[in-house]
């Protein structure tokens, strides 16, 4: 698949992206080479290749799902410019 200047202008208009006429030549070359590479990948025989979810050949380890408060309340409240016991104080937004 080759990309020409008209296609780039059309796609940039659809995407609402402004593209200089100077950059269109470079984009044409780059996108054409990308699509040629994709066509090469499509020609590969991948019938006997199983899909991967990870590059590691190990199952994912599971952990017990525990609910905790994190025990970080004091550290978090130290970052607040204003606090009231255990809550943040923020400016009133709605009148």
Q: Domain tally for the chain?
A: 1
Q: Which of 46, 51, 4, 44 is nearest to 27 (CA)?
A: 4
Domain for residue 15, yes or no? yes
Q: Which residues of 15-48 are buried (b: 16+ CB within 10 A; e: fewer)?
A: eeeeeeeeebeebbeebeeeeeeeeeeeeeeeee
Percent of the chain scoring above 90 in pLDDT: 23
Domain for residue 74, yes or no? no
Domain for residue 10, yes or no? yes
Strand partners, 84: 87
Domain for residue 76, yes or no? no
Domain for residue 89, yes or no? no
Percent of the chain scoring above 70 in pLDDT: 99
Q: Provide the whole-model pTM.
A: 0.49
Of the candidate ranges 14-18, 46-50, 74-78, the one whose mean pLDDT is the lowest: 74-78
pLDDT tens per residue across span 55-81:
887 887 898 988 887 788 888 888 888
Q: What is the pairing mode between strands 87-88 and 83-84?
A: antiparallel
Distance CA 75, CA 45 (A): 56
Question: What's the domain range around 24?
Answer: 5-42
Domain for residue 63, yes or no? no
Domain for residue 53, yes or no? no
**Region 9-15 average pLDDT:** 91
């Amino acid at each position: 698949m080759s990309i020409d200047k008209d296609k780039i202008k059309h796609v940039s208009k659809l995407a609402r992206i402004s593209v200089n006429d100077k950059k269109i030549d470079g984009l044409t070359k780059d996108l054409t080479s990308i699509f040629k590479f994709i066509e090469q990948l499509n020609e590969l025989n991948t019938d006997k290749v199983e899909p991967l979810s990870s590059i590691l050949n190990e199952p994912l380890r599971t952990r017990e799902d525990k609910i905790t408060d994190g025990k970080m309340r004091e550290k978090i409240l130290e970052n607040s410019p204003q606090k009231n016991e255990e809550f943040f104080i923020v400016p009133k937004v709605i009148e």
